Amino acid sequence: MKREWIGNKVANFKTIGARGHSSHERACGDFYSTNPRAIDALAYSGKLPASQKIWECAAGSGDLSEALVKRGYEVVSTDLYNRGYCEGGMDFLETDKLLAPCILTNPPYIKVTEFCTHAIELGAEEVYMFMKLQFLEGKRRYRDLYSKHPPAEVLQFVERMSVALNGDRKMYEKSSAMAFCWMIWRKGHKGKPQLSWISADGELVDHSDAA
């Protein structure tokens, strides 16, 4: 009897670009720019930041910053690297001054816990992090972040959002195997996170509070 082919054991990991299994080189400086439709989804769901001044602390090529500027926000854009949008050389994890009441970014994947923790401990009123859904997992991340600073909200995309390796915006048009969400921390929040679903198409009715 012939055995059904189930693929090699790293095939699925290559599809999602899992660390250590990726079929392509890691992005320079862990740079995956974010589809600006991620900001559209916040707008459609009424979940945009309350503060009119936002610090994009890993601004990359400016996709999130520009999407926010178009919606009337004042955005302070910084990055460790100069990717042609803002001046580089600012290491967010080494900063001790809060540049805006709200911090919003897609943090480098290998520094997710550190970015979230530092943003919260800087005293930001709101922290918005565009995260892989799988970042809800992990004993160390739970111990170091979520057990001490639970997010106020987790906003799960109903469609797959795409990111662009090294800022190649053509990748925004391609399908993605990765699931993303927005995690939001609000200063003074107590209790468990609220889960909601959001969509970049603007057609979603949120039933998260339905009985």
The CATH number of whichever domain residue 67 belongs to comes to 3.40.50.150
162 pLDDT tier (thresholds 50, 70, 90): confident
Structure tokens at 143: 């111990």
Q: Is residue 105 in some structural domain? A: yes
> Which residue type occupies 70?
K
Q: Is residue 19 in some structural domain? A: no
Reduced to 3 states (helix: H, G, I; strand: E, B; else coil), residue 150 is: coil
What integer is the mean pLDDT of 54-69?
Answer: 95
Q: What is the number of structural domains in the chain?
A: 1
Burial state string for 106-127 with b = 16 or more CB within 10 A and e = fewer than 16: bbbbeebbebbbbbbebebbbb
Q: Is the pLDDT of residue 59 over 70?
A: yes
Instruction: Output the CA angle 50-52-57, nearest 5 degrees.
Output: 100
- pLDDT tens string 68-107: 999 999 999 999 999 889 989 999 999 999 999 999 999 9
Model pLDDT, residue 9: 39
Which position has the token pair 């795409």?
162
198 pLDDT tier (thresholds 50, 70, 90): very high
Q: Is residue 175 in some structural domain? A: yes
Q: Is residue 20 in some structural domain? A: no
Q: Is residue 97 in some structural domain? A: yes
Running DSSP on this structure, what letter comes out for residue 143? I
Model pLDDT, residue 209: 52
Model pLDDT, residue 5: 31
Q: Which domain holds residue 135?
A: 27-198
Q: Is residue 95 in some structural domain? A: yes
Structure tokens at 179: 């699931």
Q: Is the pLDDT of residue 2 over 90?
A: no
Q: Is residue 77 in some structural domain? A: yes
* Integer Cα distance of 61 and 208 in angstroms: 34
Residue 140 φ then ψ, to 5°: -65, -45
Q: Is the pLDDT of residue 11 over 60?
A: no
What integer is the mean pLDDT of 145-159?
Answer: 95
Q: Is residue 9 in some structural domain? A: no
Averaged confidence pLDDT in the chain: 82
153 pLDDT tier (thresholds 50, 70, 90): very high
